[in-house]
Chains A and B, each alone.
Chain A
């Protein structure tokens, strides 16, 4: 069964800290992996997409890495800000006839001023 797990479920840090969010998946035969941000009561904002052939992607203060062999991805947020407070979701695409993403339950991040 293809499952995606995110730890921790919740994280609270003071403003300015660097932090790492973790995502693991049971089946390493992925096509790509996406990290999303979801604000309360809102939709999903795509942050980064990593193809299976890539090791990492960067966008501003965000860096996502992918290690297919170990079934893991991390999202690194540098110099965290209160505006980064949200739930971060990891989603895996196994391609083939499946077009869908399989989501983890997310990590709820709170950055305190």
Chain B
């Protein structure tokens, strides 16, 4: 049973370009969470999705950032017109059910560098 998969593992973009980060949850998991870890900072929640639905996006910047989890395929975190401050490690986690009693399993992360 493969764990949570993220790709690419490393992504370099120039200012103004778009970044697309992909996350495939563990088999049987239908809940996905995205977190961001800025240099020397703790992990911060961004968005929580179920298949085809955004459940909680309270941690996501209002502009330039969007997320989706389609019926088929991986979850996508999209950052438009990237700026240097977007440079961070982006982690995806998945669980069998949302909230409460379920353990979240994390992927290896995508390290985004904006030049």
Give A residues with C-beta under 8 Å from B.
31-32, 34, 36, 41-46, 49, 51, 89, 91, 93, 95-106
Contacts and interface: CB of A to CB of B under 8 A. Distances in A.
Contacts of B69: none
Interface of B: 31, 33, 35, 41-45, 48, 55-56, 59, 91, 93, 95, 98-101, 103-109, 111
Q: Is the interface of B mostly helix, strand, loop or mixed?
A: strand
A38 to B, nearest CB: 9
B45 A101 contact: yes
B43 A89 contact: yes
A33 B93 CA distance: 15
Contacts of B98: 99
B78 to A, nearest CB: 19
Interface hub of B93, B103, B104 (most chain A Cβ within 10 A): B104
Contact of A93 (B31, B59, B99, B111): B99
